Amino acid sequence: MTEHQRVAVVTGASRGIGRSIAIALAAAGQAVVVGYAGNEQAAREVVAEVTAAGGQAVAARADVADEKQVAAMFDTAAETFGGVDVVVNSAGRMALSTIADLDLDDLDAMHRTNIRGTFVVAREAARRVRSGGAIVALSTSITGLQLPTYGAYAASKGAVEAMILILARELRGRDITVNAVAPGPTATELFLTGKDAATIDRMAKQPPLERLGAPSDIAGVVAFLTGPAGRWVNGQTLRANGGII
C-alpha cells in the first residue's frame, strides 16, 4: 500500500448505489471523483455532502460508453488529486421485458451502457490505476436468480462478470485487485420503478434476512474490497444479497 491519499473514480455516483459508494469511500479517507451521466445537480449534491463531512470530491460528467469522455474523467482525477487508485463502475441501465417482447433498441441501449461502458471504464482503469489499487464493477445476483423479464439485463451483467474476472488475471504483477459485486434486490430508484407494492414485498421476503438491500449495504462491501482489509480478495464475484442465492 502506498502512502499517498487514495483517489477513487466512481461512475453512476449521482444516485442510488453509486452515490452510497462515493460517500462511503470518502468516509474511508479517499478523495472521490463523482462520475455522472446527466444529472449534474445530483452529482453536485454528492460532492457537497462529502465536503461537508470533511472529505474531498469533485464531479465529472462522462458517458461511460464514450472512451474520450471516460479518459477526460480520469484526467480530472489526475489533475485534481494526483492520480487514480480505485475505480468503481456503478453506472448501469435496466430494461425489463420477456425475451420474446423486448424492443431491440432497448437491448442495444442497455448493452451499450452495461457492456461497452464497463469495458471502456475497465480499459481506462487498467491503464491508469496505480500499484496497490483496486477495480470493482457492479454486476447483479439476477444472473443466479434467473427471473423472467430479466433475460437481457442478466445477459449484460454476465458479460460484466466475465470481462472483469479476466482483467484480474491480465493485471498479474501490478498489485491491483479486480472484483465484481453482485447486489441482490436493493431499494434504489432503478429497482423500484415499475414494480407494485406486492411485487416489492414478495422480493423483500426472498432472502433469509427478509428485507431488501440498502445502497449502504452494497457500499460497505465495495469499501471493504477497495480498502486495506480487502487486499487478498481478487478475481471474485461477491454476491451481496442477504443470502437470496
Spot the catalytic one: 74, 81, 119, 153: 153
Using CA atoms, how far apart are residues 179 and 167, in angstroms rounded to an integer? 9
Residue 200: all three cell numbers together: 416489492
Query: Distance of CA 203 to CAs 138, 208, 243, Å?
Result: 20, 11, 13
Identify whether 153 is a catalytic site residue.
Answer: yes
Helix (H) or strand (E) holding 180: strand 177-183
Burial of 20 (0-12, 13-18, 19+ CB in 10 A): buried
Helix (H) or strand (E) holding 8: strand 7-11
Judged by DSSP in three states, 79 sits in: helix
Judged by DSSP in three states, 18 sits in: helix
**Amino acid at the residue 223:** A
Query: Distance of CA 195 to CAs 85, 107, 117, Å?
Result: 38, 20, 26
Which of 49, 47, 27 is closest to 39 using CA atoms? 47
- Strand order of the sheet with strand 237-240? 57-61, 31-36, 7-11, 86-89, 134-138, 177-183, 237-240
Catalytic residues: 153
